[in-house]
Structure 1
Amino acid sequence: MTFNFIHVPKTAGTSFRKSLENKLGSEAIAYDYGRFVDETHDLIREGVYKGSVYDMREQLAQFSLIAGHVPLTKYAPVTGVSRCIAFVREPVQRTYSDYLHNKKHFGYKGSIEEYLKRPAHRNRQFTHLSGVPLAAIGFIGLTERYSDSLALLGYQFPSLQVEELSLNTHRRNIKAEHKISDEDREIILAANDKDVALYAQAKALFEQRYALYQNKKAIQRGMITRVLKHKIVGWLAGAEPGEVQAVHGEANEVAARARAVEYRPAVAGWGIERDGFVGFTLHNNEVDMHECRVRIANTDVFLTGP
Structure 2
Amino acid sequence: MKPIVFVHIPKTAGTSFRQGLDYFFGKKKICLDYGVNSAKTSSIVKSWVESERDGWHFANAFNRQGYQLLTGHFHSAKYANIFGVGRMITFLRDPVQRVVSEYNHLVKNSDHEESFQSFYRRPENINRQLRLVGRKSWAEFGFIGFVESYKESLRLLNRKFNIDIPYLRKNINKDKAVESCMLSIGQIEELKSLNAEELEFYNRARFQFDWHLRLNNAKVGYVSGSVTSFEAGKLKGWAIAENLHEAVLIQARMGGNVIAECKANEYRPYFKAQEQGRGGFVGFSLEIDRDININTIECVVAATGQPILNNVS
TM-score relative to the length of structure 2: 0.87
- Superposition deviation, residue 200 in structure 1: 1.4
What amino acid sits opposite 1:245 in the alignment?
A: I
Give a deviation string over 1:68-125, Cα, whole Å, max 9, x none: 0011111122221111000010000000001111111111122211112322222210
- State yes or no: 1:260 paired with 2:264: yes
Structure 1 210/15 Cα, relative in aligned 2: closer, same or farther at 3 Å? Answer: same
For structure 2, the residue ranges without an aligned partner over 5 or more in a row are none
How far residue 169 of structure 1 moved from its aligned partner, in angstroms, is 2.1
Instruction: Report if aligned partners of 1:82, 1:273 keep a CA contact under 8 Å in 2.
Output: no
Partner residue in 2 for 1:60 = 62
Instruction: Find the aligned partners of 2:150 and 2:140 in 1 and give their Cα distance.
Output: 21
Which residue type is aligned with residue 220 of structure 1? V
Greater mean alpha carbon deviation, residues 274-283 or residues 148-157: 274-283
Other-structure match for 2:33: 32
Report the more deviating stretch, 238-247 or 286-295: 286-295
Alignment of 1:221 onto 2:213: no
Partner residue in 2 for 1:194? 197
- Contact kept, 8 Å, 2:251 with 2:300, in 1: the verdict is yes
Deviates more, 1:256-265 or 1:197-206: 256-265
Structure 1 contact 135–205 (Cα < 8 Å) conserved: no
Alpha-carbon distance in structure 2 between the residues aligned to 1:235 and 1:179: 42
1:5–1:84 CA contact under 8 A, matched in 2: yes
Instruction: Give the secondary structure class of the aligned counterpart of 1:179.
Output: helix
CA distance in 2, matches of 1:231, 1:67: 39
Correspondences of 1:165-184 after superposition (within 5 Å): 165-171=168-174, 178-181=180-183, 182-184=185-187
Question: How far 1:217 sits from its partner (Å)?
Answer: 2.0
Q: Kindly tell me: are residues 97 and 139 of structure 1, through their superposed partners in 2, closer, same or farther at Cα, counting changes over 3 Å?
A: same
- Whether 2:48 is the aligned partner of 1:47: answer yes
Q: Could you tell me how far 1:285 is from its partner in structure 2?
A: 6.5
Matching of residue 95 in structure 1 with residue 99 in structure 2 = yes
Q: Describe the shift of the 1:93–1:286 C-alpha distance in structure 2 as closer, same or farther (beyond 3 A).
A: closer
Q: Distance in 2 between matches of 1:120 and 1:256?
A: 43
CA–CA separation in structure 2 for the residues paired with 1:99 and 1:180? 14
The separation in 1 between residues aligned to 2:250 and 2:110, in whole angstroms, is: 53
8 Å Cα contact 1:28/1:65 also seen in 2: yes
Q: Is the Cα–Cα contact under 8 Å of residues 247 and 254 in structure 1 kept in the other structure?
A: yes
Change in 2 beyond 3 A, CA 1:286/1:128: closer
Q: Work out whether residues 229 and 237 of structure 2, in 8 Å CA contact, stay in contact via their aligned partners in 1.
A: yes
1:3/1:85 contact within 8 Å kept: yes
2-side partners of 1:247 and 1:275: how far apart? 25
SS at match of 1:82: helix
Find the counterpart in structure 1 of residue 121 from structure 2. Answer: 117
| TM-fit CA distance, 1:280 | 0.7
Q: RMSD over aligned Cα, in angstroms? A: 2.4
The CA distance in 2 between the partners of 1:200 and 1:214, in whole Å, is: 21
- Are the counterparts in 2 of residues 231 and 289 from structure 1 also a CA contact under 8 Å? no
Deviation at 1:48, TM superposition (A): 2.1
For residues 258 and 222 of structure 1, do their structure 2 counterparts lie closer, same or farther at Cα, with a shift above 3 Å needed? same
TM-score (norm 1): 0.89
Q: Which residue of 2 aligns with 1:156?
A: 160
Q: Distance in 2 between matches of 1:274 and 1:131?
A: 25
Whether contact under 8 Å (2:22, 2:30) holds in the other structure is yes
SS in 1 for 2:149: helix
CA distance, structure 1, for counterparts of residue 149 and residue 299 of structure 2: 27
CA distance in 2, matches of 1:202, 1:80: 19
Measure the CA separation in 2 of the matches of 1:256 and 1:184: 46
CA distance in 2, matches of 1:281, 1:184: 45
Distance 1:121 1:292, change over 3 A: closer
Q: Given that residues 29 and 63 in structure 1 are in contact (C-alpha distance below 8 angstroms), is that contact kept between their aligned partners in structure 2?
A: yes
Secondary structure of the corresponding residue to residue 33 of structure 1: coil
Residue correspondences, number: 300
TM-aligned CA deviation for residue 256 of structure 1: 3.0
The answer to whether the Cα contact below 8 Å between 1:113 and 1:187 also exists between their aligned partners in 2 is: no
Deviations 1:227-276 (A, max 9, x none): 358532110023233323324355x4433332212122344455533343
Matched residue type, 1:199: Y
Q: Which amino acid aligns with 1:57?
A: A
Q: SS of the residue aligned with 1:216?
A: coil
Stretch moving more, 269-278 or 210-219: 269-278
Counterpart in the other structure of 1:207:
210
Aligned twin of 2:245:
240
